[in-house]
């Protein structure tokens, strides 16, 4: 089958990403986002590559944006949200509303930010001799498929002043709010941002949620210690799980598919996307704490869907009708496989013995 046939008669968004004439990878996971090949992206004066994760069901899209040494991306605005994670390089971004003040912040590897909805934005690479690369997750599929009108999406004068008010310190600071949430517009280094206790998911984990620029998209960072793994769980689709520290693997399976669990080995720079209600479980097999950034729907302030019915019970055991598998209820192969992987790496198992 020819590459373009895969998208024929599909969606407005899929046709649009094809029209961008940059590579479109169809993947369930990517071993290293820093190594994904990119091609010139004429519309933005940059380089890029789309990554289509079938598991997302067109709820979000994901792409690599790269700016050449000393380069700048052409300014644009659009009616979909975007969250940016800086994979490499350093530079600056300028944000403004038509006729309003311009605000600029500087980023480097590990920085995290959102583009406030429909603001003009432009990126600059501060280094003359090396590229800067982002991983971007956006809500373009929902918006494009709903309105199917590029003029409305890319040339819309409406100002969302509740998303960006032009104030001088817009990209400084933030505030802690209930539920381990940090409300902010810019995180300078999400890899070192202080995390808080998160007992429910096991494995001695710590976690923080980030709500950026009043977006509907949200993200969180979770870390779990050496020699441990987290509890298996499942929920709705779309979370882009990006490894930002450590090494290990994840197991993925649908209910009833325990015999066909898929194992995804990961390292810093890997990304995986569990499908709708697919169990996923993360294992740290390395010599340092493992940490991931998950970009997804599910903002506390502006949820896209109510967490109703079976999708809401993410911390309740499957034995009680929920979506988490407690350690003592696991298939014994889970613990055995983990212990074998640790032994191979010479790392001691820190999991409590199973009852
Ligand atoms: Fe999850």
What's the 318 CA to ligand 1 centre distance in angstroms? 15
Buried b (16+ CB within 10 A) or exposed e, 325-355: bebeebeeebbebbeebbeeeeeebebeeee
For residue 197, the SS3 value is: strand
Within a domain: 111: yes
> Last residue of a domain, which of 154, 186, 207?
154
Q: Are 242 and 313 part of one and the same domain?
A: yes
What's the 156 CA to ligand 1 centre distance in angstroms? 35
Q: Please state which of the ranges 4-8, 135-139, 190-194, 241-245 shows the lowest mean pLDDT.
A: 4-8
For residue 261, the SS3 value is: coil
What tokens were used for 53?
């994760």
Which one, of 215, 282, 218, lies nearest residue 248 by Cα?
282
Within a domain: 148: yes
Q: Are 77 and 218 part of one and the same domain?
A: no
* Selected residue with higher pLDDT from 123 and 58: 123
Q: Are 119 and 56 part of one and the same domain?
A: yes
Contact present, 12 and 145 (Cβ < 8 Å): yes
Within a domain: 352: no
Give ∠ CA 265-217-323 in degrees, rounded to 5.
55
Q: What is the mean pLDDT of residues 71-75?
A: 98
Q: Are 224 and 331 part of one and the same domain?
A: yes
Q: Tell me how long the chain is.
A: 355
Count of beta carbons in the 10 Å neighbourhood of residue 71: 18
What's the 280 CA to ligand 1 centre distance in angstroms? 7
- Reported pTM: 0.95
Q: So what's the pLDDT on residue 154?
A: 98
What's the 74 CA to ligand 1 centre distance in angstroms? 35
What tokens were used for 144?
């494009």
Q: What is the mean pLDDT of residues 108-113?
A: 98
Q: Are 111 and 222 part of one and the same domain?
A: no
What tokens were used for 310?
């079976």
Q: Are 193 and 134 part of one and the same domain?
A: no
Pairwise CA distance, residues 180 & 207, whole Å:
7
Q: So what's the pLDDT on residue 56?
A: 84
What's the 355 CA to ligand 1 centre distance in angstroms? 25
Within a domain: 353: no
What tokens were used for 225?
């210690």
Q: So what's the pLDDT on residue 170?
A: 95
Pairwise CA distance, residues 26 & 193, whole Å:
32
Q: Are 179 and 312 part of one and the same domain?
A: yes
Q: Name the domain count of the chain.
A: 2
At 8, the pLDDT band (50, 70, 90 cuts) reads low
> Last residue of a domain, which of 154, 187, 215?
154
Within a domain: 334: yes
Q: What is the mean pLDDT of residues 181-195?
A: 97
Within a domain: 162: no
Q: DSSP letters of 276-307?
A: TT-EEEEEE-SSS-EEEEEEES--SSS-SS--
Q: Are 127 and 220 part of one and the same domain?
A: no
Q: Are 138 and 179 part of one and the same domain?
A: no
> Last residue of a domain, which of 101, 119, 154?
154
Tens of pLDDT along 231-272? 999 988 889 999 999 999 999 999 999 999 999 999 999 999
Average pLDDT score over the chain: 93
Helix H or strand E segment including 120: strand 120-125
- DSSP state, 116? P
Q: Are 219 and 285 part of one and the same domain?
A: yes
What's the 67 CA to ligand 1 centre distance in angstroms? 31
Query: What domain range includes position 108?
Result: 3-154
Within a domain: 163: no
What's the 132 CA to ligand 1 centre distance in angstroms? 29
Q: DSSP letters of 156-183?
A: -----TTT----TTTTS-EEEETTTEEE
What's the 338 CA to ligand 1 centre distance in angstroms? 19
* Selected residue with higher pLDDT from 315 and 265: 265
Is residue 312 left, alpha or beta, with left meaning phi > 0 and alpha meaning psi from -120 to 50? Answer: alpha
What's the 149 CA to ligand 1 centre distance in angstroms? 33
What's the 203 CA to ligand 1 centre distance in angstroms? 14
Counting Cβ atoms within 10 Å, is residue 42 exposed (0-12), middle (13-18) or buried (19+)?
A: exposed
Pairwise CA distance, residues 116 & 97, whole Å:
10
Q: Any idea what the CATH number is for the domain that residue 42 is in?
A: 2.60.120.10
Q: Please state which of the ranges 26-30, 42-46, 78-82 shows the lowest mean pLDDT.
A: 26-30
What tokens were used for 293?
């950034």
What's the 324 CA to ligand 1 centre distance in angstroms? 10
Q: Are 101 and 221 part of one and the same domain?
A: no
Within a domain: 354: no
Pairwise CA distance, residues 234 & 325, whole Å:
9
Q: Are 76 and 129 part of one and the same domain?
A: yes
H-state helical runs in the chain: 12-19, 140-147, 150-154, 332-345
What's the 189 CA to ligand 1 centre distance in angstroms? 22
| Residues facing 3 on adjacent strands | none
Contact present, 281 and 251 (Cβ < 8 Å): yes
What's the 235 CA to ligand 1 centre distance in angstroms? 7
What's the 62 CA to ligand 1 centre distance in angstroms? 18
Q: In Å, what is the CA distance from 1 to each residue of 4, 26, 341?
A: 8, 14, 38
């Amino acid at each position: 089958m020819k590459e373009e046939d895969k998208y024929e008669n599909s969606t407005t968004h899929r046709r649009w990403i094809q029209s961008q004439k940059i590579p479109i990878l169809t993947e369930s996971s990517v071993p290293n986002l820093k190594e994904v090949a990119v091609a010139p992206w004429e519309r933005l004066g940059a380089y890029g590559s789309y990554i289509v994760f079938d598991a997302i069901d067109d709820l979000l899209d994901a792409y690599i944006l790269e700016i050449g040494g000393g380069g700048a991306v052409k300014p644009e605005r659009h009616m979909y949200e975007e969250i940016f994670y800086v994979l490499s390089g350093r530079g600056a971004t300028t944000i403004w509303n038509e006729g309003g003040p311009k605000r600029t912040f500087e980023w480097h590897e590990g920085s995290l930010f959102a583009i406030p909805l429909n603001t003009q934005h432009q990126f600059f690479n501060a280094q003359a001799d090396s590229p800067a690369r982002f991983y971007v997750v956006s809500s373009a599929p929902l918006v494009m498929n709903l309105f199917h009108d590029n003029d409305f999406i890319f040339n819309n004068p409406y100002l969302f002043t509740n998303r960006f008010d032009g104030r001088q310190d817009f990209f400084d600071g933030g505030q802690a709010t209930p539920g381990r949430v940090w409300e902010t517009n810019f995180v300078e280094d999400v890899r070192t941002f202080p995390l808080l206790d998160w007992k429910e998911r096991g494995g001695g984990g710590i976690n923080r949620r980030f709500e950026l620029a009043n977006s509907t998209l949200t993200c969180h960072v979770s870390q779990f210690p050496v020699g441990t793994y987290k509890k298996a769980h499942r929920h709705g689709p779309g979370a882009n799980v990006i490894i930002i520290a450590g090494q290990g693997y994840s197991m993925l399976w649908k209910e009833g598919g325990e015999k066909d669990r898929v194992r995804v080995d990961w390292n810093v720079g890997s990304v995986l996307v569990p499908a709708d209600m697919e169990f996923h479980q993360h294992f740290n097999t390395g010599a340092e704490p493992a940490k991931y950034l998950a970009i997804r729907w599910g903002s506390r302030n502006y949820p896209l869907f109510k967490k109703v019915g079976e999708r809401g019970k993410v911390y309740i055991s499957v034995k009680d009708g929920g979506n988490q598998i407690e350690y003592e209820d696991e298939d014994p192969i889970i613990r055995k496989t983990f212990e074998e992987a640790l032994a191979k790496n010479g790392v001691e198992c820190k999991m409590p013995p199973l009852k």
